[in-house]
Amino acid sequence: MHDSLLLFGATGDLAQRYLFPSLHHLLRDRLLPDTFRVIAIARSAHDDDSFRAWLRDRLDGDDYVVLEELLRRIHYVPVDLGDADSMAASLSRYADRPAVSYLSTPPNLFASACRGLKAAGLLEAPSRLVLEKPIGHDLASAKEIDATLKSALDESRIFRIDHYLGKAPVQNLLALRLGNTLFEAVWERRWIESVDIIVAETAGVDGREGYYADYGALRDMVQNHMLQLLALIAMEPPAAMDTDSIRDEKRKVLRALRPMSAADAGADSVRGRYRDGVVDGHAVKGFDAGGHDDVETFVGLRAWIDNWRWAGVPFRLVTGKRMPSRTTEVVVTFRPVTHWVFGAGEARRARPNQLRMRLQPEETIELGLMGSLAASEWSANELQPMSLDLAMLPPKRRIAYERLMIDALKGDQTLFVRDDEVEAAWRWIDSVSAAWRDARTPVHDYPAGSWGPVEAAPFLPRAVTTQNGRKA
């Protein structure tokens, strides 16, 4: 395990909320080497003492002893990431041992940071590089970034983070579908009618308006988090649960996604942008696009996977800001029974079997079935929907970044995204962007606190909108 971490973007929101707290927890549990150190890097003009004081005010101080131990291990270096020569001069003294450099920065700084790290001797084997999403703005920019990365180090030492892959419930998706005969036997188009993936957030884009004006929900959420979930759900069983086998199967799914055309954009997509409304009982302002009218905070897509397992099965992807509730769910809807024997009256009450996997805020698994509630004196069955709750109270689990941080320090790439996965995802996202442009797909308004614009109704499963908040 490497014992030197260079954390770029050390004063940013991600570092404050997740990265430093993760290191705090890992140090508390003695999962970091005794010689572990953190080189905190940002533009701000701090020295070691002032940065430690700044960070102390922002971290949970309940475990004072461990917190102070972490702070003692942190050294601060002010650096301009846009200046590779300055980076090399400031950081070369930390090339005394193999390191993990973590770029928690905007993607437009990846290339210059990579050149500066290379010049400083910090990317020589076996040192590693970790990058936060998004990797680029489109396929062309992703390839350009990748070329710069590959000029400095090989793919085996590049770790592209998608923190959803570090979530324990996401990893449980694989166990559920690959470790149970019940689901293994029916996990294909003959038995499954549709798959819904929903990532809803009550938060807005406050403080990230500039970023969102350039990226929108399609590039911010669908290109990485949602397509990674889709790939895990739809991939073929890997030959083994090792890094390359899993990532090979995910890549095949992403490559099988049918490109969207302008002719399909109207039926297979919807875009929205939240306006003033009420979320969790509080009035909130609408998204200020700053003159960028062609940007969405809500997107609904119908994706098609052109392979033998999923031909003809729609995968509906929905994500949005300022929704009624925060939830990430996968809903698998099965086809109706082959022959209905209970009569027309009972057919009206029938509901399709559904497997509903909620990944956050709490982890639950429900299987929707049909059963009979008839008493013995009745001569006919009275069918009613019933839910089989497969959830159990999970043990206290680590947040995703704790798991991913340890894996990066150890060199385990299983839960990180490979270069060909990134390119395949961007290729499909670019087809959606081009379809929107050619079809002049509008961005519909929706009030904050609703399930998106009214045009989104066909993309939203009833199970989600009725149980997680009012339907739009």
309: CB partners within 8 A, 6+ apart: 187, 188, 189, 234, 236
Query: Could you say which of 113, 134, 161 is where a domain stops?
Result: 161
The domain of 20 spans 4-161
What average pLDDT score do residues 323-339 get?
90
Here the CATH number for the domain that contains residue 60 is: 3.40.50.720
> What is the predicted pLDDT for the residue at 364?
82
Residue 220 CB coordination number (10 Å): 22
Q: Per-residue pLDDT tens for 64-98?
A: 899 999 999 999 999 988 888 889 999 999 999 99
Q: Lowest-confidence range among 63-77, 253-267, 284-298, 458-472?
A: 458-472
Residue 430 counted as domain residue: no
Q: Where are the alpha helices (DSSP H) in 160-208?
A: 168-178, 181-184
Looking at the fold, whether 286 and 337 belong to one and the same domain comes out as yes
pLDDT over threshold 80, residue 304: yes
pLDDT over threshold 80, residue 417: yes
Looking at the fold, whether 455 and 365 belong to one and the same domain comes out as yes
Query: Could you say which of 138, 161, 184 is where a domain stops?
Result: 161
Mean pLDDT, the chain, whole residue set: 89
pLDDT over threshold 60, residue 465: no
Residue 357 counted as domain residue: yes
The first and second tokens of residue 271, run together, are: 């875009």
Answer whether 176's CB lies under 8 Å from 357's CB. Answer: yes
Residue 130 counted as domain residue: yes
Answer whether 111's CB lies under 8 Å from 141's CB. Answer: no
pLDDT over threshold 50, residue 118: yes
Query: Could you say which of 139, 161, 183 is where a domain stops?
Result: 161
Read off the amino acid at residue 440: R
Q: Per-residue pLDDT tens for 192-236?
A: 999 999 999 999 988 788 888 889 999 999 999 999 999 999 999
Q: How many domains does the chain have?
A: 2
Looking at the fold, whether 58 and 190 belong to one and the same domain comes out as no
Here the CATH number for the domain that contains residue 361 is: 3.30.360.10
Q: What angle do CA 373, 333, 263 make, to 5 degrees?
A: 145
Looking at the fold, whether 134 and 218 belong to one and the same domain comes out as no
CA 373 – CA 381 distance, rounded (Å) = 7
* Nearest CA-CA partner of 368 in 380, 381, 384: 384
Residue 419 counted as domain residue: no
Looking at the fold, whether 381 and 281 belong to one and the same domain comes out as yes
Q: Where are the alpha helices (DSSP H) in 256-357?
A: 262-268, 344-347
> What is the predicted pLDDT for the residue at 463?
55
Looking at the fold, whether 354 and 458 belong to one and the same domain comes out as yes
Looking at the fold, whether 54 and 122 belong to one and the same domain comes out as yes
Question: How far apart, in Å, are the Cα atoms of 14 and each of 85, 105, 277?
Answer: 26, 9, 27
CA 51 – CA 467 distance, rounded (Å) = 45
Looking at the fold, whether 198 and 255 belong to one and the same domain comes out as yes
pLDDT over threshold 80, residue 378: no
Residue 65 counted as domain residue: yes
The model's confidence at residue 468, banded by pLDDT at 50, 70 and 90, is low
> What is the predicted pLDDT for the residue at 456?
95
Residue 248 counted as domain residue: yes
pLDDT over threshold 50, residue 470: no
> What is the predicted pLDDT for the residue at 351?
79
Residue 313 counted as domain residue: yes
Give catalytic status of residue 225 as yes or no.
yes
Looking at the fold, whether 304 and 184 belong to one and the same domain comes out as yes
Looking at the fold, whether 149 and 268 belong to one and the same domain comes out as no
- Catalytic pick among 163, 225, 282, 444: 225
Q: Per-residue pLDDT tens for 240-268?
A: 989 999 999 999 999 999 999 999 999 99
Residue 423 counted as domain residue: no
The model's confidence at residue 359, banded by pLDDT at 50, 70 and 90, is confident
Looking at the fold, whether 115 and 203 belong to one and the same domain comes out as no
Looking at the fold, whether 141 and 208 belong to one and the same domain comes out as no
